[in-house]
């Protein structure tokens, strides 16, 4: 592989990892909110951040 190809592959892997992490955090936040472990404000903050990450990773 050439250096640019390796760089692209690493970037794609980072975006994929960020996407999966954000999806997992979003699911955990939903479970925590349903269990009343976190407040609505905390839930909304986490979901907002995660949704932004997910959108950025899909672009």
Q: pLDDT by residue (tens digit) across 19-55? A: 999 999 999 999 999 999 999 999 999 999 999 999 9
With vertex at residue 39, the alpha carbon angle to CA 49 and CA 22, rounded to the nearest 5 degrees, is 25
Picking from 14-18, 32-36, 55-59, which range would have the lowest pLDDT averaged per residue?
55-59
Number of domains in the chain: 1
Please state the rounded mean pLDDT for residues 4-16. 93
Residue 46 · residue 26 · CB < 8 Å: yes
Q: Residue 58: is its pLDDT beyond 90?
A: no
Let me know: does 29 contact 50? Beta carbons within 8 Å: yes
Identify the domain containing residue 25 by its residue range.
3-58
């Amino acid at each position: 592989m050439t250096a640019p190809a390796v760089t692209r592959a690493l970037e794609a892997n980072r975006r994929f990892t960020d996407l999966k992490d954000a999806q997992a955090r979003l699911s955990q936040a939903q479970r925590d909110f349903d269990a009343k472990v976190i407040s609505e404000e905390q839930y909304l903050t986490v979901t907002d951040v995660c949704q932004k990450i997910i959108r950025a990773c899909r672009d």
